[in-house]
Structure 1
């Protein structure tokens, strides 16, 4: 089954009015990137979500970086209904920085995925192991545990994209080799095949994230089970366009 390449740009806690305008212009001017052939989704900060959604070309899309499950007495947060209200269709869930900095557990991430999917959003559901866990040969144990938490609550896999981001490769300049990344992706797909269904295993897109740049994207994307990328730092530069072109 041919899976449509998916490219996410996580802007994290970066951006000013001026820099966001420049990034949107770079994306809008990339006429040789066809959004009908690849899915392109960028995730600005909360304060820039509406601005980017309104000004970004319509064959590209906008994602939230985070949300709480429901509206109410949650000072400083945003709910999934608010994201839908401004026209968004995507949300990142379970990123390692949320897990480590804000102590979000597998169960919290899974609940957010359920809320997002039930509301009609597509969840970009993150998983990944730390350097210590990899060195202790626990990569498969950790990633499948995180995937199991998601699988426990997901009913509509068409609304889910899995992002494998080895924590040790995020923002460090270290990148899993194509063979290392492919092996984890293949293991995840096989787990889905055995524990969810053959159909889901064949169609769900599994992204790689971790110091992806234009120079390594073309090699990584050639691997059988790598369906795109969730990009951090490079999504804040024109190098993101080179990464997008790797999927065309």
Structure 2
């Protein structure tokens, strides 16, 4: 919940110039009120557009919510679903997240599915149990064609907005677990095709160590996406492509 529409337009116009020619996928997910204008700015650029959330019904008496149909009309490509703040501040359940994922897919967009454990769950040794439960419930009822369209983001809740970042080996350990679980469900070749991002206090000084891990395919960037740090992160990523 950052940047007014005018601030967002100014920032993204600069990003279009600064990130031109980057040969990997960069997705911007501004607030809902900015989506229409930002989509226009990104036309013809190498940058892609996503939304931060949506509801699972296409229309109805759900005051204050945004439907996937509304997003699709704006040519939104990606929708973040199940972010830890949605889970822990707004009380979204695994069942609700599964419904949202299905709604996004049925409207021709791609969900970025966030999963991750709290500090208490990690300290109790429950990290892998939580990750498996969240992922299995997120993917419940999806066929292989659906799963080919998803992106998974591992976000340890204890690292989001805290300045604490998972050490590269900690993040890799969980990403490898996610990849192995996908292999069990869909096969090894299929699992290698699913992007798994890391999110949680990513900064230019820790991004390279994360990105060189074999099962980390990119980053879901929070606070560092609001200023020139984002361009620095993109330059780091470009070294590895």
TM-score (norm 2): 0.93
Offset, 1:38: 1.0
Offset, 1:238: 0.8
Aligned to 1:40: 26
Please list the CA deviations of residues 138-159 of structure 1 after superposition, one character each: whole Å capped at 9, or x if unmatched.
1100011000012213222221
Aligned to 1:127: 115
Task: Find 1:67's aligned residue among 54, 62, 67.
Answer: 54
CA distance in 2, matches of 1:17, 1:111: 29
1:26–1:238 CA contact under 8 A, matched in 2: no
Aligned to 1:100: 88
Give the SS at the match of 1:231. coil
1:106–1:149 CA contact under 8 A, matched in 2: yes
CA distance in 2, matches of 1:159, 1:133: 29
State yes or no: 1:54 paired with 2:44.
no
1:162–1:204 CA contact under 8 A, matched in 2: yes
1:125–1:162 CA contact under 8 A, matched in 2: yes
| Alignment coverage as a number of residue pairs | 234
CA distance in 1, matches of 2:101, 2:188: 21
Give the SS at the match of 1:246. helix
Offset, 1:22: 2.8
CA distance in 2, matches of 1:131, 1:206: 21
CA distance in 1, matches of 2:104, 2:190: 18
User: Is there any run of 5+ residues in structure 1 with no aligned partner, and where?
Assistant: 1-12
Offset, 1:26: 2.6
Please list the CA deviations of residues 99-140 of structure 1 after superposition, one character each: whole Å capped at 9, or x if unmatched.
111111111101111111122101000000000001111110
Task: Find 1:162's aligned residue among 152, 170, 176.
Answer: 152
Residues 1-248 of structure 1 mapped to structure 2, 5 A cutoff: 13-31=1-19, 33-34=21-22, 37-56=23-42, 58-69=45-56, 70-155=58-143, 156-248=146-238
CA distance in 1, matches of 2:226, 2:204: 12
User: Is there any run of 5+ residues in structure 2 with no aligned partner, and where?
Assistant: none
CA distance in 2, matches of 1:65, 1:131: 24
TM-score (norm 1): 0.91
Give the SS at the match of 1:91. strand
CA distance in 1, matches of 2:170, 2:10: 35
The change in CA–CA distance for 1:224 and 1:235 in structure 2 (over 3 A counts) is same
Alpha-carbon RMSD across the aligned residues, in angstroms, is 1.3
Higher percent of residues as helix: 2
The change in CA–CA distance for 1:201 and 1:31 in structure 2 (over 3 A counts) is closer
RCO greater where, 1 or 2, for CA within 8 Å and sep 6 or more? Answer: 1
Offset, 1:21: 2.3
